[in-house]
Amino acid sequence: MGKITGFLEFQREDRDYEPVAERVKHWREFVLPLPEDEARKQAARCMDCGVPYCHGTSVITGAPTGCPVNNQIPDWNDLVYRNRWEEAARNLHSTNNFPEVTGRICPAPCEASCTLNIDENPVTIKTIECAIADRAIAQGLKPEKPTRKTGKKVAIVGSGPAGLACAQQLARAGHDVHVYERWAKAGGLMRYGIPDFKMEKIHVDRRVEQMEAEGVNFHYGVNVGVNLPVEQIVKDHDAVALTGGAEKPRDLPIPGRELNGIHFAMDFLPQQNRRVSNEPPLGNVEPILATGKRVVVIGGGDTGSDCIGTSIRQGAVSVTNFEIMAQPPEHENKALTWPLWPLKLRTSSSHEEGAERDFAVLTQKFSGENGAVKKLHCVRVDDKFKPVAGTEFEIEADLVLLAMGFVHPVHEGMIKSLGLALDPRGNVQANTFAYQTSMTKVFAAGDMRRGQSLVVWAIREGRQCAHAIDKFLMGTTTLPR
């Protein structure tokens, strides 16, 4: 905890943003860090709440409440309050490989579970986490090299947060770790899906440099199951971890879907990230740009929000966001939801930049001219998603971005080649203890195993998968779960 009476003495203060008019002119991060003195005051608000739900485990389900990686939040809040930043950084890194990432893009379930959130006044946990990580990185990221080598060789297929966390843990345990990534750089969705205005890619680059110094070998442009047989990977390594994403997008198969100008979000977002990073486009793919267009984004989650902010910065004439769910309440009923993640209206920084939002909307068909989309034909739906007669309406659009989530990993390629068992949702089947697939030496973690989820869950599963692989190879392990 922080100061015993801190939560009574200090009001919650969080990071601010650059004004909208300024931040939409560039692709840089626009969150303004708290001054050090203010960060310490905010850490002082962490109270002696007895049961810290911010990083606890449900006695009923066994699942985490609050932070999925089990960050020891009261401990490092106390250390920050006492100005012991270096010790706070050691504590934070003991549970989270990439706190500078989660401190930027995690939705902070820890704050929802904070005892002070009972009256809408939680500790600014995410902000303090980011401050600890950034301060430690500014002082220099030091590689943590293993003290011994095991002689075991492990392949990690996919370099998103699950793959990177798994690779770093296994390298520190002394294994010969090889990461296979189909794109030109590491990071997965952290690099190609999350816009730079939310997280600049220097944060990924620094961690990759640290991991290379720790002995991790990165192989880029290698699409396992396509230009490198997965059977060869399995043969050449003592263990294999599949940590790719749930990349099969949810489609909208309605009349007019074939019209030009209708794209999946993950065809749109990576293009802009490559432009910002001065990375060449992939092949002869036609650029998808919102410049001068009326944009409709279908899907109200984080991916939809990223499409909105990107479209606005590209110079869209207008941006409208549709969601099929009814508009949630502005405030949850704490007695029913706390300390669990509540369903309530969330307005992202991208929404604040000028998007029109509409809820309980179903798009029934697209229509266009000369093969290009020009209009969406919509209807409002009830709480069972059934169309409500007489509520039909139309909206004009030149660009439609489908951001309705992802259903499961792509099965074609390595999953089908290995004949791996799938769960009922189409994800690779593996439990959260052994992380083993139906093939003994092949493991799965992150979105590949659990389906579309948060970066913080991917980090958790990558770390736990590393624990399981080390135990599988060595018979015992000192890696944390």
Pair (327, 208) in one structural domain: no
Helix axis angle, 161-172 relative to 202-213, nearest 10°? 30
Pair (337, 441) in one structural domain: no
Pair (166, 75) in one structural domain: no
Who's near 338: CB < 8 A, 6+ residues apart?
A: 112, 113, 117, 118, 332
Closest CA to 445 of 474, 406, 409, 404: 409
Tokens matching residue 253: 């198969």
Who's near 286: CB < 8 A, 6+ residues apart?
A: none
Tokens matching residue 314: 């590209």
Pair (19, 124) in one structural domain: yes
Pair (380, 319) in one structural domain: yes
Answer yes or no: are the C-beta atoms of 324 and 282 closer than 8 Å: no
Which residues are registered as beta bridge partners of 180? 157, 219
Euclidean distance between CA atoms 79 and 1, whole angstroms: 9
Sign of the Cα pseudo-torsion (428, 433, 435, 440, in order): negative
Pair (110, 185) in one structural domain: no
Specify the CATH number for the domain of residue 234.
Answer: 3.50.50.60
Q: Which domain holds residue 442?
A: 153-247+408-474
Which residues are registered as beta bridge partners of 72? none
**Residue 56: its pLDDT value, please?**
75
Instruction: Quickly list DSSP for 241-309.
Output: EE-----EEPP---TTTTSBTEEEHHHHHHHHHHHHTTPPPSTTPPP---TT-EEEEE--SHHHHHHHH
Per-residue pLDDT tens over the stretch 152-192: 999 999 999 999 999 999 999 999 999 999 999 999 999 99
**Residue 399: its pLDDT value, please?**
98
Answer yes or no: are the C-beta atoms of 265 and 290 closer than 8 Å: no
CB atoms within 10 A of CB 370: 7
**Residue 302: its pLDDT value, please?**
96
Domain C-terminal end among 381, 404, 427: 404
Pair (35, 70) in one structural domain: yes
Specify the CATH number for the domain of residue 119.
Answer: 1.10.1060.10
CA angle 153, 179, 170 (to 5 degrees): 50
Pair (372, 292) in one structural domain: yes
430 DSSP 8-state letter: -
Domain-located, residue 44? yes
Answer yes or no: are the C-beta atoms of 27 and 276 closer than 8 Å: yes
Euclidean distance between CA atoms 481 and 476, whole angstroms: 13
Q: How many domains are there within the chain?
A: 3
Domain-located, residue 143? no
Domain-located, residue 88? yes
CB atoms within 10 A of CB 107: 16
Domain C-terminal end among 404, 430, 445: 404
Name the amino acid, one letter, at 65.
Answer: T
Q: Return the exposure string of 206-237: e unless at least 16 CB atoms fall within 10 Å of the residue's CB, then b.
A: ebbebbeebbbbbeeebebbeebebeebbeeb
Pair (168, 220) in one structural domain: yes
Per-residue pLDDT tens over the stretch 71-84: 999 999 999 999 99
What's the helix, strand, coil split of the chain in %, to 5?
Answer: 35, 20, 50
Pair (241, 256) in one structural domain: no
Pair (347, 467) in one structural domain: no
**Residue 246: its pLDDT value, please?**
96
**Residue 26: its pLDDT value, please?**
98
Which residues are registered as beta bridge partners of 75? none
pLDDT in 10s for each residue of the chain, 481 residues: 788 899 999 999 999 999 999 999 999 999 999 999 999 999 999 998 888 999 877 777 777 789 999 999 999 999 999 999 999 999 999 999 999 999 999 999 999 999 999 999 999 999 999 999 999 999 999 999 999 999 999 999 999 999 999 999 999 999 999 999 999 999 999 999 999 999 999 999 999 999 999 999 999 999 999 999 999 999 999 999 999 999 999 999 999 999 999 999 999 999 999 999 999 988 888 999 999 999 999 999 999 999 999 999 999 999 999 999 999 999 999 999 999 999 999 999 999 999 999 999 999 999 999 999 999 999 999 999 999 999 999 999 999 999 999 999 999 999 999 999 999 999 999 999 999 999 999 999 999 999 999 999 999 999 999 999 999 999 999 999 8
**Residue 237: its pLDDT value, please?**
98
Residues in the chain: 481
**Residue 170: its pLDDT value, please?**
98
Helices (H), 139-280: 161-172, 189-192, 202-213, 230-236, 265-276
Strands 16-17 and 248-249: unpaired
